[in-house]
């Protein structure tokens, strides 16, 4: 009898109409995809074998009797923030709570996931159950621990292992978990696996219920699972040894997860309300501001002198806001003509002169005032764009008031001494420092990189030359040397009395470095824009700035998303080079701090494995997000 090909068999069995894609049964899928011919079959078998051996290796490593996971569990706090003072720790929680809340809000506002089909849930259950069962079988039998608590050894000295059957019995807990998962999955599957078209509406869980069940399970686990012994700071346990992480941090973590759930609900509500546009803009803006605001919360707490605030800071801010606003209001009159340009230019000259004067010490003017004048001059230069009806003019003036409020607030706060008592230079380390550096560097280097790319493709030779030489010099130098240069050399060149904190110096160097690479990625995007786009923008009368902002950059950045995300990921990973110049980044805590503790002398592998997993977790999220982003912005080009 002649064999029929699987697809026509499937067509017959499923009674699918020919214009729908046929569904293959599991066996048929295997035959068409994995064992279609001899070569394919051999590759499949070899690949499976390799995956099997790797899994076995990882499992044996993780569950080996030599592993001291307690070192990681005890040092969780050190891995996260290293030596941030215990008395101020509430700041870290506040900052984390804010980020978690913002994440929940954004997820709620932006998520366009439909529900979770029970069918898929069933495959997940069965998949996890199957994986557990596989792991239980694959792992080599445990060594036998004698009554004295020591490993029983054979005559040759290698540890004695229990028999395979005993190992299976020992792991019966895992077996039960696997069987339960498989059973639940199978029941769900048999109930909901049929194609939609034959059994009414598709059965699925709403996304809200999925999120809340998930959060509920995590919170429950906080109070049940002993995640780890609690913190070890400056050589002493903060909580009693033997208790779990839950006893000191289960409450804050519970609050975090509750915040996540609640803000997610708020986000979902906003998504369906008519404020959705405003909410999207607002949450984006908050994401941009929050790193700076939060590191502020974590690192500083100004002790305000209210007498000075009332007598100087507040009146000055108000004066700049109101008078500057009035000037801008006048400059946007439709009959202003040449006077506008002259005033703006005069303001700019005056503002720049203030800085020169301050540099040479001709007359003292508060830095705040100098910054404000400079901003006012820039706003005056922008004013012609806002000439028009009252609404447009009001936009400019209100924007000005907002900027003034922010600038004067920040300037006042920065110039006030902090009450946070940071004992040493290494006040922050671990994951906190790594994230701090990565986020700040990415946010700051982005605009700089875009400017450099624009400069390099500019038609003005001077911009082109400067940007090109900058980019080429930076790209020709290793990151480590840039970091060393900024941490060691730059302080030597600074004038007397001027200090640059190590971290600030490093951030500057790293930002400049990262910007050069970003610039090259953006340039690739810029080159993909056709000449026709420039001509069309010119022909409808856009100015060069409008052409760049509305036509060229949006398209260029869209094209370069994959490379930009790659750059973000590598910026994040390369923060581990900070260890070279003496900062205690995430990896260094695992690599040098933990192994140096007398309790865990030389225990390195466990920490590094955990650190690698956490790096991977973050980068996985970034790359998933970028895939979604690519799909979304790709819409316009279909």
Partner 1 sequence: MNIDDATAAANDRLADRDDMIVCVDVDKFYGDFQALKGVTATIKEGEVAVVCGPSGSGKSTWIRCINRLEVHQGGDIVVDGIELTNDLRNIEKIRSEVGMVFQQFNLFPHLTVLDNITLAPIWVRKKPRGEAESMARALLERVGIPEQAEKFPGQLSGGQQQRVAIARSLAMEPRVMLFDEPTSALDPEMIKEVLDVMKELAHSGITMMVVTHEMGFAREVADRIMFMEGGEIVEVGTPEHFFTNPTEDRTKLFLSQIL
- The footprint of partner 1 (CB under 8 A) covers 387-389, 391-392, 530, 532-533, 535-543, 546, 550-551, 554-555, 558, 633, 635-638
- Residue 451 C-beta: closest distance to partner 1, Å: 21
Q: Nearest 5°: phi and psi at 613? A: -65, -40
Report the Cα–Cα distance between both ends of the chain, in Å, rounded.
48
- Residue 201 C-beta: closest distance to partner 1, Å: 29
Residues 419, 257: Cα–Cα separation, whole Å? 30
Distance set, CA 351 to CA 163, 348, 365 (Å): 83, 5, 11
User: In sequence order, which residues have a C-beta less than 8 Å from that of residue 237 and are 6 or more positions away?
Assistant: 74, 229, 230, 231
Is the Cβ of residue 495 or residue 532 nearer to partner 1 in the bound state? Answer: 532
- Residue 628 C-beta: closest distance to partner 1, Å: 17
Residues 13, 16: Cα–Cα separation, whole Å? 8
Is the Cβ of residue 240 or residue 535 nearer to partner 1 in the bound state? Answer: 535
- Residue 558 C-beta: closest distance to partner 1, Å: 7
Is the Cβ of residue 22 or residue 554 nearer to partner 1 in the bound state? Answer: 554
Which tokens in the block code for residue 531? 């000449």
Is the Cβ of residue 191 or residue 632 nearer to partner 1 in the bound state? Answer: 632
- Residue 562 C-beta: closest distance to partner 1, Å: 17
Q: How many CB atoms lie within 10 A of CB 588?
A: 22
Is the Cβ of residue 402 or residue 549 nearer to partner 1 in the bound state? Answer: 549
- Residue 539 C-beta: closest distance to partner 1, Å: 4
Which tokens in the block code for residue 95? 């900052």
> Do 32 and 24 contact (CB within 8 A), yes or no?
yes
Is the Cβ of residue 156 or residue 637 nearer to partner 1 in the bound state? Answer: 637
> Do 325 and 397 contact (CB within 8 A), yes or no?
yes
Enter the DSSP assignment of 233: E
Is the Cβ of residue 558 or residue 623 nearer to partner 1 in the bound state? Answer: 558
- Residue 329 C-beta: closest distance to partner 1, Å: 16
Distance set, CA 254 to CA 212, 249, 257, 261, 477 (Å): 13, 8, 5, 11, 46
- Residue 328 C-beta: closest distance to partner 1, Å: 16
Is the Cβ of residue 51 or residue 544 nearer to partner 1 in the bound state? Answer: 544
- Residue 529 C-beta: closest distance to partner 1, Å: 10
- Half-sphere exposure of residue 99: CA atoms within 13 angstroms, side-chain side: 15
Is the Cβ of residue 387 or residue 490 nearer to partner 1 in the bound state? Answer: 387
- Residue 637 C-beta: closest distance to partner 1, Å: 5
- Half-sphere exposure of residue 262: CA atoms within 13 angstroms, side-chain side: 9
Q: Nearest 5°: phi and psi at 118? A: -60, -30
Q: How many CB atoms lie within 10 A of CB 577?
A: 19
- Residue 445 C-beta: closest distance to partner 1, Å: 24
Give the residues across from 117 on adjacent strands.
204
> Do 325 and 401 contact (CB within 8 A), yes or no?
yes
> Do 458 and 519 contact (CB within 8 A), yes or no?
no
- Residue 110 C-beta: closest distance to partner 1, Å: 19
Residues 587, 595: Cα–Cα separation, whole Å? 12
- In 281-403, DSSP assigns E strands to none
Is the Cβ of residue 454 or residue 559 nearer to partner 1 in the bound state? Answer: 559
Closest-CA residue to 510 (of 456, 453, 455, 433):
433
> Do 91 and 297 contact (CB within 8 A), yes or no?
yes
Closest-CA residue to 377 (of 344, 411, 332):
344
Is the Cβ of residue 37 or residue 334 nearer to partner 1 in the bound state? Answer: 334
Is the Cβ of residue 8 or residue 395 nearer to partner 1 in the bound state? Answer: 395
């Amino acid at each position: 009898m002649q064999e029929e090909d699987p697809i026509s068999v499937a067509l017959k069995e499923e009674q699918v109409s020919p214009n729908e894609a046929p569904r293959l049964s599991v066996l048929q899928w295997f035959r068409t995809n994995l064992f279609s011919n001899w070569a394919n079959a051999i590759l499949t078998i070899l690949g499976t074998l390799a995956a099997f051996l790797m899994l076995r290796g990882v499992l044996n490593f993780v569950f080996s009797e030599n592993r001291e996971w307690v070192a990681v569990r005890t040092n969780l706090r050190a891995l996260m923030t290293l030596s941030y003072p215990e008395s101020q720790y509430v700041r870290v929680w506040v900052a984390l709570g804010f980020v978690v809340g913002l994440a929940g809000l954004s997820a709620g506002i932006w998520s366009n996931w439909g529900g979770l089909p029970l069918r898929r849930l069933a495959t997940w259950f069965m998949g996890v159950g199957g994986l557990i069962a596989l792991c239980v079988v694959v792992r080599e039998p445990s060594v036998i621990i004698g009554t004295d608590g020591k490993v029983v050894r054979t005559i040759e000295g290698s540890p004695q292992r229990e028999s395979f059957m005993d190992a299976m019995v020992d792991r019966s807990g895992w077996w039960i978990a696997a069987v339960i998962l498989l059973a639940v999955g199978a029941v769900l599957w048999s109930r909901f696996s049929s194609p939609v078209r034959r059994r009414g509406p598709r059965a699925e869980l709403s996304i809200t219920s999925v999120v809340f069940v998930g959060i509920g399970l995590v919170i429950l686990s906080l109070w049940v699972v002993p995640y780890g012994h609690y913190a070890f700071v400056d050589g002493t346990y903060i909580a009693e040894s033997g208790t779990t992480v839950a006893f000191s941090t289960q409450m804050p973590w519970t609050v975090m997860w509750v915040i996540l759930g609640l803000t997610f609900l708020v986000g979902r509500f906003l998504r369906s309300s008519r404020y959705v546009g405003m909410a999207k803009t607002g949450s984006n803006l908050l994401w941009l501001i929050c790193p700076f605001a939060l590191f502020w919360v974590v690192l500083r707490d100004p002790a305000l002198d209210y007498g000075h605030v009332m007598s100087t800071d507040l009146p000055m801010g108000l004066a700049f806001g109101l008078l500057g606003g009035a000037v801008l209001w006048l400059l946007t009159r439709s009959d202003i003509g040449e006077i506008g340009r002259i005033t703006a230019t005069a303001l700019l000259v005056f503002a720049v002169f203030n800085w020169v004067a301050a540099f040479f010490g001709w007359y003292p003017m508060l830095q705040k005032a100098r910054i404000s004048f400079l901003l006012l001059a820039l706003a005056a230069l922008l004013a012609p764009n806002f000439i028009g009806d009252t609404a447009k003019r009001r936009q400019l003036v209100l924007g000005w008031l907002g900027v003034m409020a922010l600038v004067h607030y920040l300037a006042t706060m920065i110039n006030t001494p902090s009450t946070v008592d940071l004992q040493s230079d290494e006040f922050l380390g671990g994951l906190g420092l790594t994230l701090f550096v990565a986020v700040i560097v990415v946010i700051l280097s982005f605009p700089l990189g875009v400017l450099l790319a624009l400069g390099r493709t500019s038609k003005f030779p001077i911009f082109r030359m400067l940007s090109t030489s900058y980019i080429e010099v930076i790209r020709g130098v290793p990151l480590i040397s840039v970091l060393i240069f900024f941490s060691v050399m730059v302080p030597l060149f600074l004038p007397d009395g001027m200090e640059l904190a190590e971290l600030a110096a490093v951030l500057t160097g790293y930002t400049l470095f990262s910007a050069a690479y970003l610039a090259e990625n953006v340039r690739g995007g810029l080159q993909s824009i056709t000449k026709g786009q420039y001509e069309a923008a010119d022909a409808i009368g856009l100015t060069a700035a409008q052409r760049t902002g509305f036509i060229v950059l949006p398209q260029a950045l869209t094209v370069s998303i994959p490379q930009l995300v790659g750059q973000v990921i590598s910026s994040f990973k390369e923060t581990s080079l900070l260890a070279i110049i003496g900062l205690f980044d995430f990896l260094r805590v695992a690599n040098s701090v933990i192994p140096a503790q007398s309790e865990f002398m030389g225990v390195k592998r466990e920490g590094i494995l955990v650190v690698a997993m956490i790096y991977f977790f973050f980068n996985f999220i970034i790359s998933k997000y970028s895939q979604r982003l690519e799909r979304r912005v790709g819409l316009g080009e279909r």
